[in-house]
């Protein structure tokens, strides 16, 4: 039986409707998942960012579906309340059949939603997953699996044409059935406009304060990622006396609107 305070997709939708900020954080193992869950986050993301922060790679492209299944299974064991979202890794969703098969592996490992990168071109895959009862989170803006195509880790949507495409893609993924959207490294005004456009919650990472929630990589929050760190990152461990305190400070700062501050925002 699901606990009364267990976070569900309808609960996230209700939070957006009521103007309550959604807090998301990554985790990659059971021990950290337990601490993150206890801190009161709403969603835990098992991101393919594990390729960078766990495996030590310079991109996410080497992460496999087997890697993701392993880490999703571990994180699931540490969670009690938070909704568990898992990334579909590079080339694990290039067509409808592959997307369903890959997502099935993640859902059987304990994921409650899968995340994929891309805009309107991903419409058929999103629709196919939703038809199978698999909730989908879309990801737009800086999409790390497209790092070579983008020419590096750069802010997206600063030009009028690219901003227009991003807004069109956001509407397209929502219409295809995505129930959540992550925006990464986009100007704050554009991100706020997208959040206003859509009925689904929009979670930002380097997208300013005008969205419905925030996500960061756990290791960035704890100050153990290698430098240089992106502008949108804040080391919450710098002023904390324990990991528990740093995680609580992150949750509180997001809920109160203190994070992200002006220094974390792209214009």
- Catalytic residue numbers read 184
Residues 164, 128, 89: CA angle, nearest 5 degrees: 75
The rounded distance, in Å, linking the Cα atoms of 13 and 240 is: 32
CA distances from 191 to 57, 172, 214, 250, 265 (A): 29, 16, 12, 21, 11
């Amino acid at each position: 039986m699901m606990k009364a305070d267990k976070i569900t997709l309808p609960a996230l939708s209700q939070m957006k409707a009521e103007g309550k900020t959604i807090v998301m954080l990554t985790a990659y193992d059971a021990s950290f998942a337990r601490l993150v869950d206890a801190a009161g986050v709403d969603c835990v993301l098992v991101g393919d960012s594990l390729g960078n922060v766990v495996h030590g790679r310079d991109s996410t492209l080497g992460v496999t579906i087997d890697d993701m299944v392993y880490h999703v299974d571990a994180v699931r064991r540490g969670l009690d309340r938070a909704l568990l979202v898992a990334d579909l890794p590079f080339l694990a969703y290039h067509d409808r059949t592959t997307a369903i098969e890959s997502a099935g592996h993640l859902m059987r490992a304990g994921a409650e939603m899968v995340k994929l990168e891309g805009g309107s071109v991903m419409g058929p895959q999103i629709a196919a997953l939703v038809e199978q009862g698999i909730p989908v989170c879309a990801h737009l803006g800086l999409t790390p699996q497209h790092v070579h195509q983008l020419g590096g880790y750069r802010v997206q949507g600063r030009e009028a044409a690219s901003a227009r495409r991003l807004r069109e893609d956001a509407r397209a993924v929502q219409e295809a059935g995505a129930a959540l959207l992550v925006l990464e490294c986009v100007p704050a005004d554009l991100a706020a406009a997208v959040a206003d456009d859509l009925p689904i919650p929009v979670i930002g990472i380097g997208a300013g304060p005008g969205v419905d929630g925030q996500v960061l990589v756990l290791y960035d929050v704890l100050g153990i990622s290698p430098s240089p760190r992106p502008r949108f990152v804040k080391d919450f461990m710098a002023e904390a006396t324990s990991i528990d305190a740093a995680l609580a400070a992150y949750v509180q700062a997001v809920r109160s609107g203190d994070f992200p501050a002006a220094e974390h925002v792209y214009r």
